[in-house]
Amino acid sequence: MKKLILLAAGLSLLATHTLQAQGLGNSPYSALGLGEILPATNVANIGMGGVGVSYASPFYLNSQNPALLARRSRFTIFEIGLLGQQKTISQLVVNEPLTQRDFGANLSYLALAFPLSSRWNTSISLRPYSYVDYKSRTYGKIPGTIYETQFDYSGRGALNRASISNGVRLGKNIYLGADASFIFGNISAQSDAQVLINSSSDITTSRINKVNYSDIVWNLGAAWRPSLGKDYVLNIGATFAPKSSLSGTETDVYQQISSSGTVISGSDTLRVNSDGHVPLPQHIQFGITLEKGNKLAVGVEAGMQSWSQFRTITDQPGNLRDGFHSSIGLEYTPKPTSTRYRDLITYRAGLQYNKLPYQVNGVQLNDVNGSLGFSIPVGAYFVNHINVAVVGGQRGVLTGAQIREKYFKVAIGFSLNDWWFRKTVID
């Protein structure tokens, strides 16, 4: 147990120190809105297509529906997740495909959950909420002249989410929960315009924009687990995150830079620490999972978030569409009561179909992916697990101005259980 904790802690520190600045690699669509939003799924849920609103195993931590925290046993659980992504980005330029390959990795989450009573569980967690990482270049020409122009666009940053969640069981099979999350971080964007005359006289006009965000948001959850005969249980779950807003301060600066990197003129400051708000649209999720003991679970879930309501900190339209996501997932453990090791390995599979909030020339982008995963029990009594999930998919298509992204993700997590707050027994 000590070796597992040290290994997990070492990996999390390594990931935080060396990988956080890399995000998950170049993502052109992260230039829109608040960047690329990362779902609050743990590795076990990732392996079964992201199903977790209506299903929670007592052996792993559920971070999607706070109500299902109350399904946790008397064990305290500590979880760490790491996520890496290999991506191939393609776009048609003059009817010829241009391709770029990219890799990124990051700490996915840290979470701790423990019981406050036989009906009440609480958890604290830290995970990325969104990330921004893009860099692109376009060319044009000044009308009526022979001179070409070059435009460079880049952005970096991330928002993080620190949460406190609580779930309680009412009666025999009704669960309610809520979590409060503090979202914080900053996003920087830079756009450079340059007239290509010659290398010694080229002047670049840069606009640098930085926004710091912070605020508290809420998420509510509920679940119902009626029995269907002797062996089966039906899990029905839902979550609702009401419309809220993030407070922000923005700094926006123009400046001219020579080809040698020297600032030619004083910066023209448009805004300095100007206060504003960014609306976070409501998010609704619903799911149904059929469960047979701790052996088999099959679930279907769907959700929608109204990103069309999004506006920038300067109250400009975000040019986003309402997002929709759906998933189907399977989890199977051959013989959960067996003493043979191979019978206790859990296998998972899942599929997702998502309509992203991004649009190109009025066409909304789709994301389709499939996932596989497994959990290996380790340690005394096999109550700890190493979780692995792989996801392969594609978003966008190679037509028009769309950017197609083919991606392959690998997620590794550690679920470490221990019995805290145990009463001393004198024999």
What is the token pair recorded at 345? 């390995």
Which pLDDT tens digit goes with each residue over 219-240?
A: 999 999 999 888 899 999 999 9
Confidence of residue 256 (pLDDT cuts 50, 70, 90): confident
Q: Which string of DSSP letters, residue by residue, matches 249-317?
A: EEEEEEEEEETTS-B-S--EEEEEEEEEEEEEPPEEEEEEEEEETTTEEEEEEEEEE-GGG-B-TTS-B
Torsion angle of the four alpha carbons 405, 29, 163, 285, in this order, in degrees rounded to the nearest 10: -70
Percent of the chain with pLDDT over 90: 53
Q: So where are the chain's domains?
A: 2-418
pTM over 0.95: no
Residue 198's pLDDT is: 65
Is residue 171 over pLDDT 70? Answer: yes
Model confidence at 402, pLDDT cuts 50, 70, 90, reads confident
Taking only Cα atoms into account, the Rg of the chain, rounded to an integer number of angstroms, comes to 24
Q: Of the candidates 301, 302, 304, which has an alpha carbon nearest to the alpha carbon of residue 282?
A: 304
Query: pLDDT tens digits, residue range 257-287?
Result: 776 666 666 666 777 778 899 999 999 999 9
Residue 422 has pLDDT above 70, yes or no: no
pLDDT of residue 260: 63
Task: Read off φ and ψ for residue 150, nearest 5 degrees.
Answer: -130, 130
Per-residue confidence (pLDDT) for residue 11, from 0 to 100: 44
96 burial class (0-12, 13-18, 19+ CB within 10 angstroms)?
exposed
Distance CA 305, CA 307 (A): 6
pLDDT attached to residue 298? 97
What's the token pair of residue 362? 């009025």
Query: Quick one: how far is CA 264 from the chain centroid?
Result: 41
Q: 80: Cβ–Cβ under 8 A, 6 or more apart, which residues?
A: 8, 9, 11, 12, 107, 109, 110, 413, 414
Burial readout 220-257 (b: 16 or more C-beta within 10 A, e: otherwise): bbbbebeeeeeeebebebbbebeebebebbbbbbebeb
- Rounded Cα distance between 305 and 361, Å, is 21
**Tens digits of residue pLDDT in 359-395:** 888 889 999 999 999 999 987 777 889 999 999 999 9
**What is d(CA 329, CA 299) in angstroms, rounded to the nearest whole number?**
5
Confidence tier at 1 by pLDDT (50, 70, 90): very low
CA dihedral angle for residue 202, residue 32, residue 309, residue 395, rounded to 10 degrees = 150
Q: What is the Cα–Cα distance from 257 to 267, expressed in whole angstroms?
A: 10
Query: Strands 203-224 and 232-241, how do they pair?
Result: antiparallel
Classify 2-418 by CATH class: mainly beta
Query: Where is average pLDDT lowest: 286-290, 320-324, 420-424?
Result: 420-424
Strand partners for 160? 128, 184
Q: Are 277 and 249 in contact, with CB atoms under 8 Å apart?
A: no
Poorest-pLDDT segment among 71-80, 115-124, 252-261: 252-261
Structure tokens of 406?
């083919």
Closest CA to 348 of 105, 43, 54, 123: 43
3-state percent breakdown (helix, strand, coil) of the chain, nearest 5 = 10, 60, 30
Rounded mean pLDDT of the chain?
Answer: 86
Cα-based torsion angle of the residue sequence 180, 290, 282, 312 in order, rounded to the nearest 10 degrees: 90
